[in-house]
Structure 1
Amino acid sequence: MTTEDEPSSPIHQTTTTNNDTTNNNPNNHNTSSSSSKNNNNNDWDDICLNPFDSSYQTGRTEGYNAGLNSGFKEGQTLGRHKGLEIGIELGFIRGFVTVALEKALIMKEEDNNNNNIRVEKVKKGLQELLIAIDTFPSPDTLFQRADDGGGGG
């Protein structure tokens, strides 16, 4: 066979230089087998050059997902705990304000005019605090603000 009779495609040239007898036939145009061999060679080269890369990528992905899940659960637990703490504190303050307002009304009735101005100031402040506690947003409103991206305030 002369060089003029050989096909000029790169696939056939590489196969003839490797002395591959199956692809020396100029009528054989099976390029899929040679391209799959190249892909397999590339995969094999990647495995040989860095044998731990696929395990590293798998571990990284699994670790990232596990961290997200763990962080979500931890955040949810912490949020519930802090929400309960805030609710208990607001309830305590509301109870304190209610009792203080009752005492202020009793003091106003029993006291003379000298303390009335002071009792009125205290009563006004306690009523404002009671209104602020009562208008504190419900959990549904707070979560809707957080979902909308509006934050908590």
Structure 2
Amino acid sequence: MTPRDLTMMLSQAGALQRGSVIEVHTTENGAFNSHVHHLMVSYLPDATPPLPSALVLKQNVATEWGRENGRREVAFYRLLAKDAQRFPMIIPYVVANYDVSTGDSLLLLQDLSATHHPPMTRQQQIQHEAMPVETTLLALLHYHRE
């Protein structure tokens, strides 16, 4: 992701109204279900509105389930944004795009990984280590509703 590409993405989404990105440092995340990159971003001093310097870029994997999950995730963030004050626990998106013709999705969110950590690792989830029974019950409830 180049500064020019990110500036264009932010501007087209209406997130950046003035100014531009001058530097982007990217670190890949080993997520298994999507392509995730952590971005450290520097903006020109006149950039408005103020945007986070730590961002997460999330794009779907090129599979049928990856495209469907990406579509749903973008729809989820867009839906919650309509009534954001009711959902303060959800990170508001900076950019949420879904391309109907390709099925590709893109989410750009504030990166809170420096201060927030998952309660358990992916490996613990797979092995059901220390997973509260409530989590399993909630997952089953969602599974049977679809």
Shared fold by TM > 0.5? no
Larger helix percent: 1
Structure richer in strand, relative to its length: 2
- TM-score bracket for the superposition, by shorter chain length: under 0.3
Instruction: With a CA cutoff of 8 Å and minimum separation of 6, indicate the structure with the bigger relative contact order.
Output: 2
- State the TM-score, normalized to the length of structure 2: 0.20
TM-score (norm 1): 0.19
